[in-house]
Amino acid sequence: MEEQIKKMIIENYGSMRSFSDKIGLPNSTVVSILERGIKNSNITNVIKMCKALNISVDKLIDNNQLISTLNFDNATPIELSKDVIRIPVLGRIPAGTPIEAIEDIIGYEEIPKDWLKGGNEYFALVLEGDSMEPKYQDKDIGIFLKASDCESGQDCCIRINGFDATFKRVKKQENGIMVMPLNENNSTGFSTTFYTNDEIINKPVEIIGIIKQIRRNM
């Protein structure tokens, strides 16, 4: 595969150095990736290379390697007009078993500018899996209000163990919280999980955002 990538670089950019300059990486880094192997290299740099060559990352890297920490602080809005802003779709989040989400901007969604009143911040994620059906479906884009807490019964983006991200309903209890799928018969086998107040602090279990809206392609 690395030899095919080298050939594509030369065909499309003329030289390794021109390609490196185009994607904003040192030439030595690109050479190292191709010599060490795609699967042994920094995922973020590989993604940059794939975008420039119009290659799907999934074809080069298996899903277990592709997952990496989602940067929820990456949600910088872009102003389009006095009424509308664009927010980035930061990656994918499983509506199933928690796994790490992708640290990459994969698109943009427009939201009303007045949603930002009071200092509110938003980000978007692509939902994956069937554990939150029928209300939420695979490939829906979720618009999330960035938040560190929620009301009991709200559907939230949750980070577990400091990096794993999942989308579930949160039910609060005096001694902890329940993280619940809406579809108990989901394909991943994820069932309602209870976290004590001590586990919430020590794992940790963190609320990252509350679902505001979904966008669905029909």
Tell whether 182 and 120 lie within a shared domain: yes
Q: Kindly state whether residues 56 and 131 are assigned to the same domain.
A: no
Based on the structure, what is the number of domains in the chain?
2
Burial of 76 per CB tally in 10 Å (0-12, 13-18, 19+): exposed
Say whether 32 is catalytic: no
State residue 81's pLDDT score. Answer: 57
Residues 102 and 190 in one domain: yes
The three-point CA angle 54-73-216 to 5° equals 60
Task: Please work out, in degrees rounded to the nearest 5, the angle formed at the alpha carbon of residue 141 by the alpha carbons of 199 and 201.
Answer: 10
The whole-number pLDDT of residue 69 equals 39
d(CA 100, CA 110) in angstroms, rounded, equals: 25
Phi (first) and psi of residue 184, to 5 degrees: -70, -20
CA distance 171 to 73: 25
206 and 130, same structural domain? yes
Q: Which residues contact 60 (CB under 8 A, 6 or more apart)?
A: 1, 38, 39, 46, 50
Count, residues in the chain: 218
What pLDDT score was predicted for residue 61? 53
Catalytic (active site) residue 131 = yes
167 and 115, same domain (yes or no) = yes
pLDDT score recorded for residue 176: 96
The series of mean pLDDT values per 10 residues for the chain, 218 residues long, is: 85 90 86 80 75 70 41 54 79 67 70 90 89 92 94 94 85 95 90 94 92 86
Catalytic residue among 131, 135, 148, 172: 131
Same domain, 108 and 201: yes
In this structure, are residues 156 and 91 in contact, taking their beta carbons and an 8 Å threshold? no
Domain termination site, one of 48, 65, 82: 65
Same domain, 61 and 77: no
Separation between Cα atoms, residue 207 and residue 109, nearest integer Å: 22
The single residue of 28, 152, 168, 171 carrying the catalytic annotation is: 168
Do 91 and 186 share a domain, yes or no? yes
From 65, 94, 111, the end of a domain falls on 65
Do 119 and 191 reside in the same domain of the chain?
yes
**Same domain, yes or no, for 103 and 206?**
yes
Question: Of the residues 65, 83, 102, which one is the last residue of a structural domain?
Answer: 65
Q: Please tell me the distance from the alpha carbon of residue 166 to that of residue 158, in angstroms, as a whole number.
A: 5
CATH of the domain at 163: 2.10.109.10
CA–CA separation, 102 vs 44, rounded Å?
10
Q: Which domain holds residue 189?
A: 72-215
Q: What share of the chain is helix, strand, coil (3-state, %, to 5)?
A: 30, 30, 40
44 and 150 inside one domain: no
Q: How far apart are CA 215 and CA 109, in angstroms?
A: 9
Instruction: Mark whether 81 and 144 lie in a shared domain.
Output: yes
**pTM as predicted:** 0.62
